Amino acid sequence: MMTNKTLVLYQSKYGSTKSYARWIAEAVDGDLVEASKADPGALPGYDTIVFGGSLHAVGITGVKTITDNYDMIKDKKIIVFAVGCSPGHDKDLKKVWEANFTEEMRERIRFFYARGAFDFHKLAFVDKMMMRLLRMKLKRIENPDQDAKDLLASYDNPTDWTSRENIEPVIDCIREG
């Protein structure tokens, strides 16, 4: 029987990414390591490397763990998931995909998105400033769609969109031959 040794790395700021990473590691019996504590030299010892990071604008926090070590792991199955508070529309995720990975990387890395939680009052100062700017932009929309209305409402009412269902495509990808 062939085994697939899986490493799940993550960098989480407010906890949603860590929850998803833990759920993925549990589901596939993988090793779970915070990216800042990972030993890059150990990466080639895994068949599958999963990385999860929070999404800020189009940047995936901590993804350099993958991109900086890509040459050493490019023959592995590499999966990256980003976590944010937006609904994750394809056109927006395409920008994230292109901003974080070279063309060669995009040919080999599988990319997923999972919606996290949002509690405006718990944000760090800089994140609060960024989200205030977004709120002002959303309020200026003449006919906001439901996504904009939901996000505006979450400023006053913390919202948690995390769900184990959101990571099922990642788990399926890990398990596929």
Confidence of residue 125 (pLDDT cuts 50, 70, 90): very high
Confidence of residue 1 (pLDDT cuts 50, 70, 90): very low
Tell me the pLDDT tens digit for each residue of 90-111.
999 999 999 999 999 999 999 9
In angstroms, rounded to a whole number, what is the distance separating the alpha carbons of residues 6 and 173?
A: 12
Closest CA to 58 of 124, 10, 130: 130
Sign of the four-CA dihedral 126, 132, 133, 135: positive
CA dihedral 141, 86, 125, 38 (to 10 degrees): -160
Strand-strand pairing, 110-115 and 48-56? unpaired
Tell me the pLDDT tens digit for each residue of 14-45.
999 999 999 999 999 999 999 999 999 999 99
In angstroms, rounded to a whole number, what is the distance separating the alpha carbons of residues 56 and 134?
A: 12
Measure CA 30 to chain center.
Answer: 17
Residues 157, 121 contacting (CB under 8 angstroms): no
User: Residue 4's pLDDT is what?
Assistant: 67
Tell me the pLDDT tens digit for each residue of 132-149.
999 999 999 999 999 889
